[in-house]
Amino acid sequence: MTGRERFLAACRGETVDVTPIWIMRQAGRYLPEYRTLRSRISMEDALNTPEAATEITLMPLERFDLDAAIIFSDILPPLTGMGLDLEFVPSHGPRINNPLRSTKAVDMLGVPPADETMGATLEAIRQVRCELEPRNLALLGFAGAPFTLASYAIEGGSTRTFAHTKAFMYTEPAAWDRLMIKLSGVIIDYLNEQIHAGADCVQLFDSWVGALSRYDYDRYVKPYSHRVLSAIEDKAPVIHFSTNTGAYLDTLSGAGGHVIGVDWRIPIDKARQLVNKPVMGNLDPCTLLGPWRELMPHAKEVMQRIGGHFGHIFNLGHGILPETPIENVRQLVNYVHNYPHG
Ligand code: 1CP
């Protein structure tokens, strides 16, 4: 099978020759060639120049036998088009200089079409699509999920407690609803455009929704995630990813997605039982910081729990860390592809 066939078959839960693998944040800071390119151009320029985004997207494919590429972008730039002042602060991370703290600010947000605001990323998808055609690899598009985007828009950056987000959600439920509907509309349009530009599959990142209780997930988030997922599910395979949601993976899966992406906090066979769908995961990215003699048994454990089952895409449970030795990535990819199947 080609990488693309293998990847898409796994999304449908169909027979594969070997387990497909890609790595979250595979086009990032652990690659020396990425760091070299980023020493010359800012994050903003990398995002807004299709040729640069294309070059970065292809970097990990030159080194590793991966089954899929993920377009180089970020979940946050769609917020810029809505009126938020996003900045990537070097060696710190993303920051929004005018975070949402009032119902009026929510009502001022625009909902421009993605082809006006995200044109560079859509063009990069078209370019990468051409490059991947002869290599027969899958191309993933992605977007942030409504909750995770709302949390950045309200907090203005990273947070441990999500206090501003939760306080807004509890205090201003009507404005929360308007915000989540605006975000859902922007995300649906953007994912549709990515599929139209050539993405084979899209991933919805609800990276931080595990900060909520099951009750709050159902009450304040699920309807909007469902709105997004149900609007795109018949257009392309969709991976619904989150972390720290083992306590309510069943209801999260009920919001939609053909594949459920999970982190290492839940055993992957248990996740599969809870969702009864194809699953993606779930090696702890920190295991790649250790030697192969310890990394290998961790990878083996994931394969043994899910091995022989169809409908598994191997991945880390969250993004690869910048300190990761390249050689461990190469060995991991080869290990998964050589793992005896069936
Ligand atoms: O393979 C790839 O690298 C694909 C491109 C990609 C993706 C899929 C980037 C590039 N960012 C993302 C998604 C993303 N961005 C998520 C969801 C995935 C996840 O949970 O890991 C999130 C939460 C963000 C927000 C973000 N952007 C952060 C995290 C901050 C936090 O709150 O912890 C950071 C550090 C960024 C900047 C960024 N985005 C991408 C890169 C390579 C970088 C680092 C920029 C740099 O210094 O070079």
CB neighbour list of residue 288: distance below 8 Å, 6 or more residues apart: 295, 316, 320, 321, 324, 325, 328, 329, 332
**6 classed as catalytic:** no
User: What's the confidence (pLDDT) of residue 308?
Assistant: 64
Q: Which residue has the tokens 């730039």?
A: 77
Paired tokens of 245:
């949601």
CB neighbour list of residue 206: distance below 8 Å, 6 or more residues apart: 144, 145, 147, 148, 221, 225, 240, 241, 242, 252
Number of neighbours of residue 195 by Cβ within 10 angstroms:
19
User: What's the confidence (pLDDT) of residue 175?
Assistant: 98
**29 classed as catalytic:** yes
User: What's the confidence (pLDDT) of residue 190?
Assistant: 99
Q: How far is the CA of 174 from the centre of ligand 1 (A)?
A: 30
User: What's the confidence (pLDDT) of residue 307?
Assistant: 78
Which ligand 1 atom minimizes the distance to the CA of 46? 48
**30 classed as catalytic:** no
- Cβ burial, residue 36 (10 Å; 0-12/13-18/19+): exposed
Which ligand 1 atom minimizes the distance to the CA of 159? 32
User: What's the confidence (pLDDT) of residue 68?
Assistant: 98
Name the residue at shortest CA distance from atom 34 of ligand 1.
Answer: 93
CB neighbour list of residue 84: distance below 8 Å, 6 or more residues apart: 96, 98, 99, 100, 109, 153
pTM of the predicted model as reported, rounded to 2 decimal places? 0.97
Pocket of ligand 1 (CB under 6 A): 24-29, 38, 43, 70, 72-76, 88, 93-94, 142, 158, 205, 207, 318-319
Q: How far is the CA of 114 from the centre of ligand 1 (A)?
A: 20
Catalytic residue among 4, 6, 38, 227: 38
User: What's the confidence (pLDDT) of residue 203?
Assistant: 98
**Ramachandran region, residue 280 (left: φ > 0; alpha: ψ -120 to 50; beta: rest):** beta
User: What's the confidence (pLDDT) of residue 139?
Assistant: 98
As a dihedral over the C-alpha atoms of residue 151, residue 156, residue 162, residue 164, rounded to 10 degrees, the angle is -100
Of residues 33, 18, 21, the one with CA closest to residue 72: 33
- Taking the chain (342 residues) in consecutive chunks of 10 residues, what is each chunk's mean pLDDT? 97 96 97 98 98 98 98 98 97 96 98 98 98 97 98 97 98 98 98 98 98 98 98 98 98 98 98 97 98 98 87 98 98 96 69
